[in-house]
Amino acid sequence: MNNLPHRLLSLMLLCLIAWAPPFPAHAQSNSNKSKIALVMKALSNPFFFEMEAGAKEYARENGVTLEVFGTEMETDVEHQIGIINNLISRGYGAIVIAPVDSRKLVPPLKKAVDQGIVVINLDNPLDKDTQAQYGIAIPFVGSDNAKGAALVGDYFRRKLRGKGRVVIIEGIGGAQNSELRKTGFRQAVTAGGGIEIVDSIGANWHAEDAFARMAGLLEKRGAVDAVLCANDQMALGVLQALDLRNLTGKVLVSGYDNIEAARNELRNGRMHATVEQHPELMGRHGVELALRALQGKKIPTHQDVPLDLITHESFGKRIALSLSDLSNPFFAALLAGARAEAELHGVELFHADARNDDSQQLLAIQDFVGKKMDFILINPTNSQAVQPGIEIANRARIPVITVDRKEDGGKVVSHIASDNVAGGRLAGEYIARKLEGGVIAEFEGIPGTSVSYERGKGFNAVIAQHDKLKVTAREVAHFNRDNARQIMARMLAQHQTFDAVFAHNDNMILGVLDALQAADGGRRPLLVGFDAIPEVLQALREGKIDATVAQNPERMGSLAMDAAIKTLRRETVPAFIPVELDLIENAK
């Protein structure tokens, strides 16, 4: 050793320091058992910034000790293996990993599993055959990479009208996500024939490599019509190569990941498509599954994360949302869902609150038409009263989508809502299951709204099937908490008693609860609401309310915005888009 050059000795010493555990394994093992390690790749890639942010947010909300590790390069397999070995020696409770390689990371992760460490796989799926060879099956959280790439392939095929020359820029050979994206691109873009794959070549996920590969391909193969890239970083490199030949904007270019630099290129029309695969949800769900597993709970073997096709057409579009009543948390959540989807697609969202006033909603719609919005989303105050507003938009050739409540006239592209009749049935079935017999009070919403009519219809159809159950009081409380509280207080003062109360929304069931708590006497009836707003969910946990029907208003808002964007892309959307319902019961 003394004869080795001084520089080599220094290098060996630095390597030993870099790979050695900071503390002896035996001293660390007990204190680290509750810790979760998030291990990523290419920490310089904004995609992994978002993954880390989602993981940290969940950890903060749930009191989890989370530590983050990663490599600088997406090709650095040995570094990531070293991190895993280090974490094993330090006795971490769980490892949540986005692997650099789908096969080479399986052996060290098998070692972690054998040591009783929980392992969760994110983003890039570990190879199933290699896992089977080592006798493990690690739970996966991520999106369907082939499906995401197929969204872009379908889009480009439509843009090219089924004819053209296309290049595919792959990631790292052997990486499962790269292979799946290549397959998804190829199958979708060539469906029906007419499109030629000129070449398919790897660029290691890096902009510099993609620039060099694309420059060489243009020199060798000549002009092409489209380039499908397996991530956004490579798409940025392709744009640089196209710039040199003055082809930017003339050649369709796609990426995958929806990083901010790519969004800027979409905004200015140099790039045409990318795929949002929600890395923040991957990080969040990965830590969540790891925590549940550490708590001894059963976890799924696969948790899907949604995908969104993002295209340049939606950037700068102006879409308006007219809401019936923003003081209701349900509609505030609907707005939040629409706003998040709008931001994702580069849409400028405008909104107006009608405050349950039909005339105010009509004035707002007229204003949106006057401002020449590209699209109008309407949550009607009243199914009949909104008809003139929709017809005004129709005459101005501004497309309309209705959300939650239907319209009684005018032309709409689509209606997004829960099956309110089915939701009413869920409430009725719950009460019938809990009571052998008894009398029920029903608190109705706003007369003339489709949701109030449909929820009542489903509920009463079930109750009519049970001879020992009877609705003895029906009160109109206009979906309003104060109205419901006042009506229930009056009924209690008149010594009216009920075995159950069903309200057409959660605001009204909270008003009923307010009156019951103020009266503070006698047995509380079963209380069933509709919407699953946060305050009612808390009341369910405390045992103050018995059940509510969840219809996910945020999902409604995001689906409405998504349908509008697809329409602007000239895609066909269904006339009715249902939102899933679920009955949530208290645990007491």
Is the whole-model pTM more than 0.85? no
- Tell me which residue of 134, 193, 186 sits closest to 163, measured CA to CA: 193
pLDDT computed for residue 587 by the predictor:
66
> Residue 389, Cα to own-chain centre: how many angstroms?
32
Three-state DSSP state, 529 = strand
Q: What is the mean pLDDT of residues 388-414?
A: 96
- pLDDT > 90 fraction of the chain, expressed in percent and rounded: 84
Q: What is the mean pLDDT of residues 414-427?
A: 95
Token duo for residue 494: 């008149």
Q: What DSSP string describes 173-208?
A: TT-HHHHHHHHHHHHHHTTTS-EEEEEEEE-TT-HH
Integer CA distances (angstroms), 365 to 376, 398, 414, in order: 8, 11, 17
Q: What is the mean pLDDT of the chain?
A: 91
Do strands 547-550 and 582-585 pair parallel, antiparallel, or not at all (unpaired)? antiparallel
Residue written as token pair 């974490």: 87
pLDDT tens-place string over residues 228-268 = 999 999 999 999 999 999 999 999 999 999 999 999 999 99
Q: What is the mean pLDDT of residues 110-121?
A: 97
pLDDT computed for residue 31 by the predictor:
76
Query: Where do the structural domains in the chain lie, given as residue ranges?
Result: 25-142, 145-276, 316-588
Q: What is the mean pLDDT of residues 456-474?
A: 97
Under the banding of pLDDT at 50, 70 and 90, the label for residue 29 is very low
Token duo for residue 457: 């219809």
- CATH number for the domain formed by residue range(s) 25-142: 3.40.50.2300
Q: What is the dihedral sign for C-alpha 510, 515, 520, 522? A: negative
Three-state SS string across 422-463, please?
Answer: HHHHHHHHHHHHHCCCEEEEEEECCCCCHHHHHHHHHHHHHH
pLDDT tens-place string over residues 7-27 = 333 333 333 333 333 333 333
Dihedral of the alpha carbons of 518, 521, 522, 525, in degrees to the nearest 10 = 10
* AA identity, residue 145: N
- Intrachain domains 25-142 and 145-276 with the same fold: yes
pLDDT computed for residue 52 by the predictor:
95
Would you give the DSSP letter of residue 263?
Answer: H
Contact 238, 169 (CB under 8 A): yes
pLDDT computed for residue 107 by the predictor:
97
pLDDT computed for residue 5 by the predictor:
38
pLDDT tens-place string over residues 503-513 = 999 999 999 99
Q: What angle do CA 478, 482, 485 make, to 5 degrees?
A: 100
Under the banding of pLDDT at 50, 70 and 90, the label for residue 76 is confident
Q: What is the mean pLDDT of residues 470-476?
A: 97
Integer CA distances (angstroms), 218 to 232, 234, 251, in order: 20, 15, 12
Residue written as token pair 């079935």: 429
The HSE-up count of residue 535 (CA atoms within 13 Å, CB side) is: 15
List the beta bridge partners of residue 559: none
Q: What is the mean pLDDT of residues 444-464?
A: 93
* AA identity, residue 312: H
Q: Which fold has domain 316-588?
A: Rossmann fold (3.40.50)
Under the banding of pLDDT at 50, 70 and 90, the label for residue 449 is confident
Contact 202, 229 (CB under 8 A): no
pLDDT computed for residue 588 by the predictor:
61
Q: Which CATH architecture has domain 145-276?
A: 3-Layer(aba) Sandwich (3.40)
